[in-house]
Amino acid sequence: MTQDELKQKVAFAALDYIKNVPVIGVGTGSTVNHFINYLADMKGSIDGTVSSSVGTTERLKSLGIPVLDLNEVGELEVYVDGADEINPNKQLIKGGGAALTREKIIAAASKKFICIADDSKRVDVLGKFPLPVEVIPMARSYVARELVKLGGQPVWREGCVTDNHNHILDVHNLTILEPINLEAAINQITGVVAVGLFAARPADVIMVCKGEEIITY
């Protein structure tokens, strides 16, 4: 199976978690895009979705799936999203698609966060995938210097402007042994909007596709 076929298979498996759920939080990325395609087939049985990015919103709307404002929906039952890295504690690195801030908001506002991925995303220790940090543009250099003090090597994702009109620093060379502490430390830096470390609020359920098998825990 190709990596994309693995993503498609796990996206299909996630449908088990959205039965009788009226409003579904929807993440961003190529794995979630498969999930959105399946969602289109059952749009008549849901009230709508809450979207984590402009890209996801456009895709949902193009398929006739209603997109609702999180402020009007309140707490979500279920949020389905992908990840760039997953550790054994269900903590994640996300933000490869620059949507980390809205993804984090939806994760925080959801009762159950279902993370779907192909098996290549599983790691023992987070940090090989450069950690995305969304920053207010004028704070970019300052935040970068502070991230160096934390042991990372930040690289500006040039040309990338987030849906919130901010910039992204991708932090290389981190071995994240204490994800909750690092998340808190980065959140403390003035000018940081959000860090793509989902540790204090990890996923609730991991579903990965490995060959023909769906592993759920």
**CB closer to ligand 5RP, 18 vs 116:** 116
Q: Does 127 bind ligand 5RP (CB under 6 A)?
A: no
Q: Does 96 bind ligand 5RP (CB under 6 A)?
A: yes
Work out whether strand 213-216 and strand 205-210 pair parallel, antiparallel, or are unpaired: antiparallel
Choose which of 6, 17, 18, 27 interacts with ligand 5RP (CB under 6 A).
Answer: 27
Cα distance from N-terminal residue to C-terminal residue, the chain: 22
The 85-86 sheet, strands edge to edge: 85-86, 92-93, 197-198
Choose which of 6, 57, 81, 209 interacts with ligand 5RP (CB under 6 A).
Answer: 81
* Residues contacting 141, CB < 8 A, separation 6+: none
Give how many residues touch ligand 5RP by CB under 6 A. 17
Q: Count CB-CB contacts under 10 A for residue 213.
A: 10
CA–CA separation, 183 and 143 (whole Å): 14
Q: Does 130 bind ligand 5RP (CB under 6 A)?
A: no
Helix (H, G, I), strand (E, B) or coil at 33: helix
Residue 103 annotated to the active site: yes
Encoded one letter per residue, x for contact with ligand 5RP by CB under 6 A and - for no contact, window 164-193 reads: ------------------------------
Do the Cβ atoms of 48 and 78 come closer than 8 Å?
Answer: no
- Mark the segment that binds ligand 5RP (CB under 6 A) among 28-36, 69-77, 151-159, 165-173: 28-36
Chain positions contacting ligand 5RP, by CB under 6 A: 27-31, 81-84, 94-100, 103
Enzyme catalytic residues: 103
